[in-house]
Structure 1
Amino acid sequence: MMKHYSIFADYHQFYLWDHEANPDVPTSYTEEDTIRRIKAAPFVVVVQPERNMNVSVEVEITGEAPELALDAWDHVAEASLDLPSGRLEIYECTGESIDILTVPAGTYRVRTYHSGLGTLSDDGLDGDDHYRIVLWPAPFTDLAVLKQYVDPRVVS
């Protein structure tokens, strides 16, 4: 199953969560959380796009882990998500529910792909960034960054 969305990523975030679990969204962030561009808590994964505007997001649900092809992407990270109700909800940070997808109940791996991160305007409002999210059934595993983006405009 593959779906395409335009999601308002206010505060540089939107959520994937179990529709019936009413999860507490994480509110405290470390610098490391921001750099990872993903954060997880019980029953919720926070995806952190580069812009806090409408962003293009593709969501795919598969039966197994996708091939790990990193070259086309600026940043790739993974986290686990428990979906005991079998109802995956995509939700805007300060907006509303975008969609509720029915999946087999269980634990999923969520891989987020970020592309076009270097295309943002100086004010961060415009750009060609886009995001792909793939979920598949998998045992719970710690959050992992598979490819780290480093903004060349930021001097460390």
Structure 2
Amino acid sequence: MSEPSLKADIGVGIDHGQLYIYDLGAPIDLGGPDALEALDDAQNSGRYVGRSGDLVNMLSPVQWHFDAPMRVEVWAGEPAPEETGWDHVVDLDLNAPTGQLAFQAPTEEEYASCAIPHGRYRIRVSGRGYDRANPQGGGGDSYRVQLWPRTGDRPPALRQRWAGWASLMG
């Protein structure tokens, strides 16, 4: 299992230091409790990637970056851990009932999307370039989402924590 079956490079929008990740067919409410619960989970857990139902909220140390590089990879099984070169890495579950994965800033109506096989996934959300990024406005930061099929549910797991969260979040 040395290569993903699908690789896609897209630009995603981050605003207010957040990026939503979800399937377009998932029953979520971006303007309601799902968004607030995912944000609370991200902050209160110390993972800075949170989940509520089928909505993932990834926090970023940059205030905004409206064309942040995102690599999406689909694997047949869990990829080998590759934390070297990544500042922050979190694993969690995500359902993709339609296979239309959306990446959306919480303040924007538009979203970037990537077609993947529909299914139940474990995903690994990784970010890097945090120390080089301009905290007030994008550049220097980039991201990766790796997905692989799952048969059961597992709790989120913090694989690597960026040390800079302590100074940003207090």
| Residue of structure 2 aligned with 1:22, choices 8, 18, 27 | 27
Unaligned runs of 5+ in 2: 1-5
Range with bigger deviation, 66-75 or 81-90: 81-90
Aligned to 2:117: 103
Unaligned runs of 5+ in 1: none
- SS state at 1:154 partner: helix
Whichever residue aligns with residue 24 of structure 2, its letter is H
Q: Identity over the aligned pairs, expressed in percent? A: 22
Aligned to 1:11: 16
Residues 78-124 of structure 1, C-alpha deviations (whole Å, 9 max, x = no match): 110122333323333222121141413x3101101111111133x53
From the superposition, tell whether residues 120 and 91 of structure 1 become closer, same or farther in structure 2 (CA, over 3 Å).
Answer: closer
Q: TM-score, normalised by structure 2?
A: 0.78
Aligned to 1:70: 83
Deviating 4+ runs (over 4 angstroms): none
How far apart, in 2, do the equivalents of 1:89 and 1:63 lie?
A: 21
How far apart, in 2, do the equivalents of 1:103 and 1:6 lie?
A: 20
Matched, 1:124 2:136: yes
After TM superposition, give the deviation of residue 69 of structure 1 in Å.
Answer: 1.7
Q: TM-score, normalised by structure 1?
A: 0.84
How far apart, in 2, do the equivalents of 1:10 and 1:20 lie?
A: 23
Q: Over the residues paired in the alignment, what is the CA RMSD in angstroms?
A: 2.3
